[in-house]
């Protein structure tokens, strides 16, 4: 799966939780889920669950801990897919 495809799929996943829609206009690796998209932290757990479903992977708590930006999420997804 290409990086571009991962990021496109991620964007669809986070959309329903975004409080600051301007943040979606420039959705890229640097985009911060809390600061740029204003996703609240409980919904960030929902994002993690949706990512697990979408990519058929399991994200343990150690990985979840560092999932704060689109780039973080992309790297975690890539690593988990590789490990499958």
Partner 1 sequence: MIGNDIIDLRLSLSEKKSENQRFMAKVFTDEEKGFIRASDDPETILWLLWSMKEAAYKAHQRNYGLPRTLNPQSFSCTVNPFENMGKVYTGSKNYNVEFEVNSDYIYSQTSTQSTFHRIYSKVKPTKDQILEEICASLDLECPVFRLEKDSKGIPSLIGPNPKKKLPLSLSHHGNFTAFAIPLINS
Q: Which residues bind partner 1 (CB under 8 A)?
A: 19, 34-35, 40-42, 44-46, 48-49, 52, 61, 64-68
Q: Which is nearer to partner 1, 24 or 34 (CB)?
A: 34
Q: Which is nearer to partner 1, 2 or 41 (CB)?
A: 41
Quote the least distance from Cβ 60 to partner 1, whole Å.
9
CB count in 10 Å sphere of residue 82: 7
Nearest to 49 by CA among 40, 59, 34, 41: 59
Instruction: List the Cα angle 39/61/69 in 5-degree steps.
Output: 35
Q: Which is nearer to partner 1, 1 or 45 (CB)?
A: 45
SS3 32: strand
């Amino acid at each position: 799966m290409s990086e571009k495809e991962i990021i496109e799929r991620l964007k669809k996943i986070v959309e329903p939780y975004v409080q600051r829609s301007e943040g979606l206009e420039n959705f890229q690796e640097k985009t911060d889920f809390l600061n740029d998209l204003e996703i609240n932290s409980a919904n960030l757990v929902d994002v993690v669950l949706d990512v697990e479903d979408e990519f058929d992977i399991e994200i343990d708590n150690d990985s979840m801990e560092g999932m704060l930006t689109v780039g973080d999420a992309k790297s975690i997804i890539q690593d988990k897919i590789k490990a499958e």
